[in-house]
Amino acid sequence: MPLTNSSLAPAVGAAVENVQFQAAAQVLSRKILLIGTYDPAKTGITPEDPFLITSPEDAAAKLGFGFMLHRMAKAANAGSQGVETWVMPQAEAGGATASAGSIDFAGSTLTENGTIHLYIGGDAVPIVGAKGDDGAALATKAVAAITADPDLPVTAAVGTPTSLIDITCKSKGPFGDDIALSFNQGFMESDPAGLAYAVVDMTGGAGIPDIDDALDATGTGDDQNEAYYTDVLHGYGLDSTTLDKLSVYNGEANDFLGDYSKTVSRPFRSLNGDTTPGSGGLSTLLALGNGRKSDRTNGVIAVPASPNHPVEIACLALGTAARLNSNRAEEHVLGKILSGVFPGAKADRWTSDYDDRDTAVKAGISPTRVRSASVYMQNLLTFYHPDSVPSASNGYRSMRDISIIQNMLYNLRLTFEQEKWQGCSIVEDVAKVGSLTDREKARDIDAVLDELLALTNSFYDLAWIYSTGFTIDKLKAGGLIEIRPGGKGFNMRLPVLFSGEAWIYDGLIQFDTALTVVL
* Residue 181, phi then psi, degrees to nearest 5: -105, 115
Contact present, 471 and 465 (Cβ < 8 Å)? yes
d(CA 41, CA 43): 6
Contact yes or no for 20/420 (Cβ under 8 A): yes
Sequence letter at residue 64: G
3-state secondary structure (DSSP) of residue 179: coil
Find residue 491's DSSP bridge partners.
Answer: 482
Residue 274 has what pLDDT? Answer: 98
Angstrom distance (rounded) from CA 269 to CA 309: 20
From the list 338, 242, 222, 351, the residue with the least C-alpha distance to 298 is: 242
pLDDT of residue 317: 98
- Alpha-carbon span 444 to 26, nearest angstrom: 25
Integer Cα distance of 274 and 348 in angstroms? 13
The torsion of the CA quartet 284, 285, 288, 292, rounded to 10 degrees, works out to -160
pLDDT at 4: 72
Backbone angles phi, psi at 169, to 5 degrees: -70, 140
Task: Say what the pLDDT of residue 20 is.
Answer: 57
Three-state DSSP at 191 gives coil
Q: What is the pLDDT along the chain (519 residues), one digit of tens a residue?
A: 677 767 787 777 777 765 555 568 899 999 999 999 999 999 999 999 999 999 999 999 999 999 999 999 999 999 999 999 999 999 999 999 999 999 999 999 999 999 999 999 999 999 999 999 999 999 999 999 999 999 999 999 999 999 999 999 999 999 999 999 999 999 999 999 999 999 999 999 999 999 999 999 999 999 999 999 999 999 999 999 999 999 999 999 999 999 999 999 999 999 999 999 999 999 999 999 999 999 999 999 999 999 999 999 999 999 999 999 999 999 999 999 999 999 999 999 999 999 999 999 999 999 999 999 999 999 999 999 999 999 989 999 999 999 999 999 999 999 999 999 999 999 999 999 999 889 999 999 999 999 999 999 999 999 999 999 999 999 999 999 999 999 999 999 999 999 999 999 999 999 998 888 777
Domain extents in the chain = 32-92+208-402, 98-203, 432-519
Q: Which one-letter amino acid corresponds to residue 21?
A: F
First to last CA, the chain: 91
DSSP 85-105: EEEEEEPPPTT-BEEEEEEE-
Quick one: 98-203 is in which CATH superfamily? Baseplate structural protein gp11, finger domain (3.90.1160.10)
Q: What is the pLDDT of residue 365?
A: 98
Amino acid identity at 52: L
Give residue 13's pLDDT: 74
Strands (E) located in 215-305: 231-234, 269-270, 272-274, 300-302
Task: Give the helix, strand, coil percentages of the chain, each rounded to 5.
Answer: 35, 20, 50
In angstroms, the CA 192 to CA 50 distance is 47
